[in-house]
Amino acid sequence: MEEKFPFEKIEREILIKVEEKSNKIYGKTPEERTIKESLNYGIININKSQGPSSHQITDYVKKILEIDKAGHSGTLDPNVTGSLVIGLGRSTRVIHNLLKAGKEYVCLMHLHTKQNENEIKQAINSFVTKIEQMPPVRSAVKRRKRQREIYYIKTHEIKNNQDVLFTVGCEAGTYIRKLCHDIGLKLNTKAHMQQLIRTRVGPFDQKTMHSLYELKDAFELYKEGNEKELKKIIMPVETAIEHLPKIWISDHAVDPLCHGTDLAIPGIIKLESHIKENDTVAILTLKDELVATGISKLNSEKIKDLEKGIAIITKKIFMKKDTYQKYSKS
């Protein structure tokens, strides 16, 4: 079974509309940002420990980094560990885009009665589809049936025909505790979730996870003049939109977008293929800086071929005004 999220299955090509380079005097590549800038435009993937709530972990991050604003990508129960993606400063506005990117968990499920191993695997695999779930009584959302998609499940180990260790990739908002319960019903028994670790949130995986202790140590080194370790932990805001289709724009189109205008076709230099109407799209400078996100009014082919018209309705702006001068030329 292919262990990929939907966005990873799309092979996008870059389509060039015109040849143009960015003026060096405006902006900078994400890698060139200072730590101070990263504290306002950065993303951290915290390896959440058991006990604290997601809100408490976010507060700890703010205190460690001595910043006023941070926000997390989706609540983890206090007993659940693993990936908690936190946006710093203006990056909090990009976090909601991760909700459509998919999440992955490693789960230990306990069946209340012994079952045939092959039947356990068959029951689990039958859930790799679109399923309906009712949110639990203690949840932050309205209790009504919701459809969620299970992208893949891989069973790693079945012990004593009752304890099952598996990895599941699923749409955000899937309740793994409820999934375990439903797998039990499929096997005509009861089942419950014993332990859960979130291993992926969209493009963020275990390779980018760091503990609060690592973050604190890295920040102390930074205050002493060594920023190397902190640079490893704080990722550019652009890493949070890796799963989105992208459009790159001319320097002279940047500042109007920062003032709230929609993106017109003449401002587009290049774009990725397979953009569909109503897709959420990331708009970047030619230096790969995130300017804004928006909703596409046209597909890739029309954007590539047309010479005028509105291509993207701007929704959220991330770049500060006047970072690029209006009508600047390279």
Q: Residue 217 catalytic?
A: no
Q: Is the distance from CB of 99 to CB of 123 less than 8 angstroms?
A: no
d(CA 58, CA 48): 10
**Rounded distance, CA 313 to CA 281, Å?**
10
Using alpha carbons only, what angle is made at residue 83 by residues 295 and 94, rounded to the nearest 5 degrees? Answer: 25
CA distance 308 to 314: 17
Which tokens belong to 117? 């191993």
User: How many C-beta atoms surround the C-beta of residue 290 within 10 A?
Assistant: 26
Largest CA distance in the chain: 71
Catalytic residue (one of 59, 68, 77, 262): 77
End-to-end Cα distance, the chain: 48
The span from the CA of 130 to the CA of 140, in Å, is 22
Active site members:
77
